[in-house]
Copies of this chain bind each other. A is one copy, B any other.
Amino acid sequence: MASETADKLAAMSLKDVQTVSHGPCNNMPEWKAQLETVKKGLPEHYALTKTLVFKPKTPKSQTAVLIMVVALEDSDTNSSLIAKALDVKEPRFAQADAVEAALGVKPADASPLAITAENAASVQVAFDLRILDAKVPVGVHPSRSDVTVFIRGADIKAHLDKTGVKITVIDFSLAAVYVSNRNHGTGLSDQDCGRQSASKQVTSKPPIKQAPKQTIEGAELVGITLAKEEDFSGWYQQVLTKGDMLDYYDISGCYILKPWSYGIWERVQQYFDSRIKSMGVQNCYFPMFVSAKVLEREKDHIEGFAPEVAWVTKAGQKDLEEHIAIRPTSETVMYPYYAKWIRSHRDLPLRLNQWNSVVRWEFKHPQPFLRTREFLWQEGHTAHIDYPSADKEVMQILDWYEGVYRDVLAVPVRKGKKTENEKFAGGFYTTTCEGYIPATGRGIQGATSHCLGQNFSKMFNITVEDPKWKEGDPEEAKKLHVWQNSWGLSTRVIGVMVMIHSDNKGLVLPPNAAQIQVVIVPCGITAKTTEAQRKALTDAVLDLEKTLSDGGIRVHADLRDTYSPGYKFNDWELKGVPIRLEYGPKDIEKNQVVAVRRDTGVKESVSLQNIAQELQTRLTTMHQDMFNKAKEAYDSHVKLVKTWDEVVPALDAKNVILMAHCKCQGCEDEVKENSKGRVDTEAPEDSRAPSMGAKSLCIPFDQPDGKDKIVPGVTKCVHCGENAKHYTLFGRSY
């Protein structure tokens, strides 16, 4: 009976494979091998599944549709997540009779293979994404708990798809719902058909509606199952987690920066740290703790942060006498000491910076990199003798922030000044780099450089004797309050980079940001390849790796022998490595290598003559191309509007808008109120943009000129009709 089932199943699997096997790759041999294992016993590597049947709370009037959870043995299939994912109430384990009535088997024998076109209507399936990801055969019970057969996870789903049963794929490890019964594909990326699928990449992106289709080809097993154009925030989560950038943490709003993303942060640090040091900024470290009385010293300032401050009230078992805050930012932490340290104008400018983490306990929907309760950043805090010195620095820092985006992340930003409504709490004026996310049409604040004026120095009494003071000048003129700046750039930059460049195959990393710029994948190994040939190829790959490494390229040779080239191609595409080199025996003969660009998929043969030089050039070009493409997307979505009627349609069309504005705060508030349109449901709420109305992003330094130039007294505010002062960039934003 068991072997009978096994054979039935074997037949089914084979049939399935044939029906879905696209392309020229012949994967029969592997399948034969797998079926052998069913007879011989356990395969060399495998994973086991569990099948659980639930019954949701259902009105008496209706017959309950059972829920079959099909998951890997060690997946945490928590029922509240299932309820949420399937939108059902209180799922409980189903009674034996209910299971038998629906599936005709005892609960113990229940298995996905027990579902047929006939009983498909009486049950829906919660399917573990990890089964699709499984790189090894998956064991299931063929409707008999005493028998286990091993097949490819994807084929279990293929079978279910064919029955027409409702399937929801859930990634239990992420506690987030992914695919809702959309992709009925069976991946093939495990097969050695990398060359073919790679060559497919040359074709330009398909239209949106086909995106899911596109993800079928090999992507589903390990790859992105959501289309950027369809479910942006789900796509963003997948790109980050499957691209190995980040993992979710068991405390909400906190995330783990894995080496793949932290390495990008290290590059950002190198770029910025060396520059600020060249102008005399020194690094230091202040405590993460701040006492309540010091924190609250500057009222406007603390108002901005108070609701988000995390408080330490206990140590061990002891309650602390005074509650201690964790810094949301360090102005009030540092400035009492500036008052102590700055004794004379000769101590100016004082320029300190720290690379640290700060905590802002937001209660809004968190977003990896964009809104997190703890985040890494640098905060610079400087003191100057006068305004010109402070102002000069504010602008220099802003230029370097733009440089981080342009030179490291290939991201274009627009520089400008924040309006009074949007400037830093307690500051004098705020300058900003504003980015743009084409997929959502929203603006995003990239980094800010603030001039605090003398506000904090008055609050904290940071003064020097004015060196210009002379005998006879009024006594009070002698005391000079210093001018201060503060400026910060956070790991948010990584999120912006990902949102802009990545695609439905995964991450796309700009060459300057990538830790691995070039990956070498040995190809062309077949059953007929001899040991000697394999060794020759490995040696050649290692030589090439050394050549490139000596040439200053961050290179990695992927010599994992357990994975096929096709699998490796997908793997490195998912991780966004800029250039993939495919290197096989034929290439060695021709003294060439095949290079594939991650951003375009374009593929070309490159001679091994000056290969390092050749690839350096391509990396430089690729970085520039990525920047240009993003810049074009930005520029083409900055809509200069002349009348109010154009505003909401422009916003709805994913533009940010440039409009002549009167500079009145009241008018700015009304713009936000009156520009609410079709709310983009993809977008998370943003505590700093309570509505999807357009807020002012900045007053760009680069103002329209020529016929669009503001004519004082003539050009009117597009919203209120008063005299316009300048163009302001408005947009829905993060």
By a CB distance below 8 angstroms, the chain B residues around A265 are: 285
By a CB distance below 8 angstroms, the chain B residues around A259 are: 282-284, 352
A237-274, CB < 8 A from B: 247, 249-251, 254-259, 262-263, 265-266
Complex alpha-carbon distance, A374 and B336, angstroms: 20
A282-341, CB < 8 A from B: 282-291, 294, 306-318, 323-324, 326, 336-337, 340-341
Output the nearest chain B residue to A255 by Cβ-Cβ distance: B287
Complex alpha-carbon distance, A337 and B241, angstroms: 13
Output the nearest chain B residue to A465 by Cβ-Cβ distance: B45
Instruction: Output the least CB separation between A388 and chain B (Å).
Output: 23
Q: Does A723 contact B (CB under 8 A)?
A: no
A489-515, CB < 8 A from B: none
Q: Does A376 contact B (CB under 8 A)?
A: yes
Complex alpha-carbon distance, A307 and B315, angstroms: 7
In the complex, which of the residues B256, B323, B356, B471 contacts A314, with contact meaning CB atoms closer than 8 Å? B323
Complex alpha-carbon distance, A471 and B48, angstroms: 18
Output the nearest chain B residue to A326 by Cβ-Cβ distance: B312
By a CB distance below 8 angstroms, the chain B residues around A456 are: none
A397-443, CB < 8 A from B: none
Complex alpha-carbon distance, A566 and B337, angstroms: 28
In the complex, which of the residues B41, B254, B262, B285 contacts A287, with contact meaning CB atoms closer than 8 Å? B254
Q: How large is the interface on A (under 10, 10 to 19, 20 to 34, 35 or more residues)?
A: 35 or more
Q: Does A173 contact B (CB under 8 A)?
A: yes
12 pairs of residues in contact across A and B, judged by CB atoms under 8 Å: A251-B290, A251-B291, A254-B289, A257-B284, A257-B285, A259-B283, A259-B284, A259-B352, A288-B357, A310-B315, A312-B313, A312-B326
A251 touches B324 (CB 8 A): yes
Complex alpha-carbon distance, A284 and B257, angstroms: 6
By a CB distance below 8 angstroms, the chain B residues around A374 are: 287-289
Instruction: Output the least CB separation between A522 and chain B (Å).
Output: 17
A307 touches B317 (CB 8 A): yes
Q: Does A346 contact B (CB under 8 A)?
A: yes
Complex alpha-carbon distance, A373 and B346, angstroms: 34
By a CB distance below 8 angstroms, the chain B residues around A528 are: none
Given A259-B352, A283-B259, A284-B258, are A310 and B308 also a contact pair (CB < 8 Å)? no
By a CB distance below 8 angstroms, the chain B residues around A634 are: none
By a CB distance below 8 angstroms, the chain B residues around A257 are: 284-286
A285 touches B256 (CB 8 A): yes
List the 8 closest pairs (A to B, CB-CB), nearest first: A259-B282, A315-B361, A254-B287, A311-B314, A307-B316, A257-B285, A313-B313, A262-B284
By a CB distance below 8 angstroms, the chain B residues around A258 are: 284
By a CB distance below 8 angstroms, the chain B residues around A247 are: 337, 340-341
Complex alpha-carbon distance, A311 and B312, angstroms: 5
Instruction: Output the least CB separation between A265 and chain B (Å).
Output: 8
Output the nearest chain B residue to A46 by Cβ-Cβ distance: B465
Instruction: Output the least CB separation between A716 and chain B (Å).
Output: 42
Instruction: Output the least CB separation between A340 and chain B (Å).
Output: 7
By a CB distance below 8 angstroms, the chain B residues around A283 are: 259, 262-263, 266
Complex alpha-carbon distance, A554 and B315, angstroms: 43
In the complex, which of the residues B255, B315, B317, B337 contacts A256, with contact meaning CB atoms closer than 8 Å? B337
By a CB distance below 8 angstroms, the chain B residues around A359 are: 288
Q: Does A392 contact B (CB under 8 A)?
A: no
Output the nearest chain B residue to A265 by Cβ-Cβ distance: B285
In the complex, which of the residues B290, B313, B352 contacts A311, with contact meaning CB atoms closer than 8 Å? B313
Complex alpha-carbon distance, A312 and B313, angstroms: 6
B256 touches A286 (CB 8 A): yes
Q: Does A560 contact B (CB under 8 A)?
A: yes
Complex alpha-carbon distance, A309 and B312, angstroms: 10
Work out how many copies of this chain go into the complex: 2
Complex alpha-carbon distance, A251 and B287, angstroms: 9
Q: Does A61 contact B (CB under 8 A)?
A: no
Complex alpha-carbon distance, A291 and B253, angstroms: 13
Max count, chain B CB within 10 A of own CB: residue among A250, A324, A359, A376: A250
Given A287-B255, A352-B259, are A250 and B315 also a contact pair (CB < 8 Å)? no
By a CB distance below 8 angstroms, the chain B residues around A290 are: 251
| Residue interface mask A374-386, B partner, CB < 8 A = 1 | 1010000000000
Instruction: Output the least CB separation between A302 and chain B (Å).
Output: 11
Q: Does A562 contact B (CB under 8 A)?
A: yes
Complex alpha-carbon distance, A560 and B346, angstroms: 9
A316 touches B263 (CB 8 A): no
B284 touches A346 (CB 8 A): no
By a CB distance below 8 angstroms, the chain B residues around A306 are: 316
By a CB distance below 8 angstroms, the chain B residues around A340 are: 173, 247
Complex alpha-carbon distance, A289 and B312, angstroms: 12
Complex alpha-carbon distance, A188 and B307, angstroms: 54
Output the nearest chain B residue to A173 by Cβ-Cβ distance: B340
Instruction: Output the least CB separation between A55 and chain B (Å).
Output: 30
Complex alpha-carbon distance, A258 and B288, angstroms: 15
Complex alpha-carbon distance, A247 and B254, angstroms: 31
Complex alpha-carbon distance, A667 and B183, angstroms: 69
Instruction: Output the least CB separation between A320 and chain B (Å).
Output: 9
Known: A257-B285, A308-B316. 20 other contacts (CB 8 A): A45-B465, A173-B340, A247-B340, A250-B336, A251-B289, A254-B289, A256-B286, A259-B283, A259-B352, A262-B283, A265-B285, A287-B374, A288-B359, A307-B317, A310-B312, A310-B314, A311-B313, A315-B363, A326-B326, A346-B562
Instruction: Output the least CB separation between A243 and chain B (Å).
Output: 14
A285 touches B310 (CB 8 A): no
Instruction: Output the least CB separation between A400 and chain B (Å).
Output: 19
Instruction: Output the least CB separation between A558 and chain B (Å).
Output: 12
Instruction: Output the least CB separation between A42 and chain B (Å).
Output: 8
Instruction: Output the least CB separation between A591 and chain B (Å).
Output: 31
Complex alpha-carbon distance, A623 and B560, angstroms: 46
Given A323-B314, A361-B316, are A294 and B352 also a contact pair (CB < 8 Å)? no
Instruction: Output the least CB separation between A79 and chain B (Å).
Output: 19
By a CB distance below 8 angstroms, the chain B residues around A344 are: 45
Complex alpha-carbon distance, A167 and B238, angstroms: 70
B311 touches A249 (CB 8 A): no
Output the nearest chain B residue to A344 by Cβ-Cβ distance: B45
Complex alpha-carbon distance, A336 and B249, angstroms: 10
By a CB distance below 8 angstroms, the chain B residues around A256 are: 284-287, 337
Output the nearest chain B residue to A355 by Cβ-Cβ distance: B355
Complex alpha-carbon distance, A341 and B256, angstroms: 12
Output the nearest chain B residue to A247 by Cβ-Cβ distance: B337
By a CB distance below 8 angstroms, the chain B residues around A41 are: 471
